[in-house]
């Protein structure tokens, strides 16, 4: 049984069983700090309105994008690919083009293990082509602002691999963060393969540190790696640009744990500015029960408890006022 289906049971609408009306607030009023939309949102009509949660993932080849998507969807299989018209695409046709950096961003990637996601993959930066960059830019602008809600992208994951720690920011990357028009669509910067920095951290040990016991060398090397990650030139450049990322996530050891990808989902949920989209993303998580519980607590239960507390306080004050008269 999928535990996240319990979410529609919670309501942020105030209860109507308050025995005595409080002046200035009817028993059924919705608290001002709880969006009115949340009183009517249901999982079923969320998908009817928005369709599936749609993500554009951007990054160079070998940035770990496929690994991320498989982890997110709990799959060991490659995704099925559909064109913009919904027709299934032969994988052999794609393999013949991606090596040259020519990729159809309109294609939809869907994993059978979790069809509640639709992914779009941009690899156009590989060729360094202005044409490919403009195609991506037009796609983002169109899908971020389209009135056809089921075609709208809801988040962008921009992946940069840390196994090339010293590389400069590409011109296309600089253009993206200086010129992008994503509307309300959040961009999450995903630093992948952060564990690769450990080797560079070990290589940076001083001659004196190289003589330390193995365990101590590993500790010093990890400290160097964390410092490199914190001060890496890519992040230093991107965060100072006109349209800096909404959030940043550091991924490591994806072959050993899915904690990083769960953090990516959580950060994306928090980056979204619409509660309906937050819930849409939360309900894609078949296995992350804690995220579902946390969302229910933060968005529904806590506002409900606070509202009941305010009503109780007002009732007591109202009663005390009558006692004084």
Closest by CA position to 111, among listed 152, 156, 72: 72
As a whole number, mean pLDDT of residues 24-43 equals 44
Give the residue, 26 or 319, on which the prediction is more confident: 319
Among 65-79, 154-168, 261-275, 294-308, where is mean pLDDT lowest? Answer: 294-308
Burial of 270 (0-12, 13-18, 19+ CB in 10 A): middle
Q: Give one DSSP letter per residue of 98-118, joined into a string.
A: HTTT---TT-EEEETTEEEEE
Which residues on adjacent β-strands are paired with residue 191? Answer: 160, 250
How far, CA to CA in Å, does 229 sit from each of 226, 252, 289?
5, 11, 30
Model pLDDT, residue 308 = 60
Q: In what order do the strands lie in the sheet with 155-161?
A: 80-82, 108-111, 114-122, 53-58, 155-161, 187-192, 247-250
* Residue 102 pLDDT > 90: no
Please say whether the beta carbons of 296 and 285 come within 8 A. Answer: no
What lies within 8 Å, CB to CB, of 42 at 6+ separation is 8
pLDDT computed for residue 25 by the predictor: 38
Record the tokens describing residue 224, joined without a space.
């160097």
**What pLDDT does residue 68 have?**
93
Secondary structure of residue 248 in the 3-state scheme: strand
């Amino acid at each position: 049984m999928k535990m996240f289906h319990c979410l529609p049971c919670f309501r942020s609408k105030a209860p109507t069983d308050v025995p005595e009306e409080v002046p200035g607030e009817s028993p059924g009023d919705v608290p001002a700090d709880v969006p009115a939309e949340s009183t009517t949102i249901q999982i079923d009509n969320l998908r009817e309105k928005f369709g599936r949660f749609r993500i554009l993932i951007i990054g160079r080849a070998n940035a770990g994008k496929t690994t991320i998507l498989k982890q997110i969807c709990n799959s060991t299989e490659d995704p099925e690919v559909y064109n913009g018209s919904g027709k299934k695409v032969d994988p052999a046709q794609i393999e013949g083009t991606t090596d040259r950096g020519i990729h159809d961003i309109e294609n939809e990637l869907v994993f059978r293990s979790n069809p509640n996601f639709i992914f779009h993959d941009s690899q156009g930066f590989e060729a360094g082509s202005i044409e490919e960059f403009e195609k991506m830019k037009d796609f983002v602008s169109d899908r971020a602002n389209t009135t056809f809600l089921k075609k709208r992208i809801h988040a962008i994951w921009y992946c940069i691999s840390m196994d090339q720690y010293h590389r400069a920011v590409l011109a296309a990357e600089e253009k993206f963060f200086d010129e992008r028009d994503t509307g309300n669509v959040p961009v999450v910067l995903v630093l992948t393969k952060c564990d690769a920095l450990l080797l560079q951290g070990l290589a940076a040990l001083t001659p004196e540190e190289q003589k330390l016991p193995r365990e101590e060398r590993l500790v010093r090397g990890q400290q160097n790696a964390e410092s490199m990650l914190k001060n890496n030139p890519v992040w230093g450049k991107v965060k100072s640009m006109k349209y800096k990322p909404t959030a940043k996530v550091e991924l490591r050891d994806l072959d050993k744990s899915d904690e990083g990808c769960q953090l990516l989902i959580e950060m994306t949920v928090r980056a979204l500015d619409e509660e309906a989209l937050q819930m849409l993303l939360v309900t894609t998580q078949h296995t992350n029960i804690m995220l579902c519980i946390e969302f229910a607590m933060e968005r529904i239960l806590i506002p409900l408890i606070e509202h009941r507390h305010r009503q109780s306080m007002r009732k007591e004050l109202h009663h005390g006022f009558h006692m004084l008269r």
